[in-house]
Amino acid sequence: MKVVLFCGGRGTRLNGPGGEVPKPMLSIGYRPILWHIMKYYAHFGHNDFILCLGYRADAIKEYFLHYNEAVSNDFVMSGGGKHVQLVSSDIQDWTIRFVDTGPQASIGERLKAVEAYLAGEDYFLANYSDGLTNLDLNQYIEEVRVQDKVLSLLSVRPALTMHAVSADEQGLVRAVMPVGETDLRINGGYFICRQDLFGYLGKGEDLVGPVFTRLIADRQLLAHRYSGFWKPMDTFRDRQELEELWAGGQAPWEVWKCA
């Protein structure tokens, strides 16, 4: 399946107001989070990517135009550095289409902008490009095919440190517990989309909103419950925690290392 990656975010909460690095290019270890997500999909055999570019599209283009395989792969150097032979490769079998969808476009508008490149695809995958998981993608896809709905999203527990408060009508507290321990679930992205989705997507509309409302009314929106590892990179603390997992050799999303 083709993989649509929404890469238009500014990452203000991570960069700060003056930051110039687009959110998908913020690094975890040697590589940006965008690379980690692409590597995840490629592990399951989905290596035909469409990047919906927005803020600082040039930075993402330049990164891949000058991609250095030696940074994250073993290699043999000889001739005083004149000859480099890679032992393995990351992106040699990837196909990446770069599409500038505008700096201010919504997710729905970005998706609509690449509709023509998805012609003939019964199903395609889509991702916010700011969260990581160790979900078994093959199993997820198979379950969605059986359900045969127009759109499926990953239903996950929020990775929040806030506490939920349960109280009666008089305000007397009955319980206080971490949000992550409640039954609250959120949209974790990792969409599986049927081509029919474009029939629900109106001009200028976002994906979450009117489109979801129509899908729900037609019983065509599926939430795949997942309680394994899933973590977004929304805040500086999130990025630190992901970096620490990677540095400690305990990055659950690196499923390609478990093969």
Other beta carbons within 10 angstroms of residue 21's beta carbon come to 16
H or E stretch including 126?
A: strand 123-127
Separation between Cα atoms, residue 89 and residue 225, nearest integer Å: 34
**CB of 154 closer than 8 Å to CB of 133:** yes
* This prediction's pTM: 0.89
Domains annotated for the chain, with CATH where assigned, are 2-257 (3.90.550.10)
Per residue of the chain (259 residues), what is the pLDDT tens digit?
A: 999 999 987 765 655 544 688 899 999 999 999 999 999 999 999 999 999 999 999 999 999 999 988 888 788 988 887 788 888 888 889 999 999 999 889 999 999 999 999 999 999 999 999 999 999 999 999 999 999 999 999 999 886 667 888 888 888 898 888 776 777 888 999 999 999 999 999 988 999 989 999 999 999 999 999 999 999 998 888 999 999 999 999 999 999 988 6
